[in-house]
């Protein structure tokens, strides 16, 4: 079962329109067995955090929170 807070964050990534996180987030939301999609989304979020994680936008803390939740899953 997927964590509700994580699901809410991933929905926002899926709707953001940024290619780095958009497709992996949509895939994660659509798959019930999340082992492989967790890895894919972690990679995407690590890249997003590296590229944009300190720009000051609303997404900055969301990348970090989602990564923490995914790694704990």
Angle at 41 between CA 5 and CA 47, to 5 degrees: 110
d(CA 68, CA 64): 6
The per-residue pLDDT of the chain, averaged, comes to 90
Residue 28 pLDDT > 70: yes
Q: Which residue has the tokens 């996180």?
A: 21
Q: What is the pLDDT of residues 34-50, one digit of tens each?
A: 677 889 999 999 999 99
Q: What is the pLDDT of residues 3-22, one digit of tens each?
A: 899 999 999 999 999 999 99
DSSP code at position 16:
S
Find, among 57, 56, 47, the residue nearest to 21 by Cα: 47
């Amino acid at each position: 079962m997927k964590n509700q807070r994580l699901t809410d964050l991933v929905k926002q990534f899926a709707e953001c329109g940024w290619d780095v996180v958009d497709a992996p987030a949509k895939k994660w939301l659509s798959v019930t067995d999340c082992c492989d999609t967790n890895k894919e989304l972690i990679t995407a979020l690590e890249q997003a955090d590296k590229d944009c994680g300190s720009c000051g936008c609303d997404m900055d803390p969301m990348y970090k929170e989602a990564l923490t939740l995914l790694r704990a899953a």
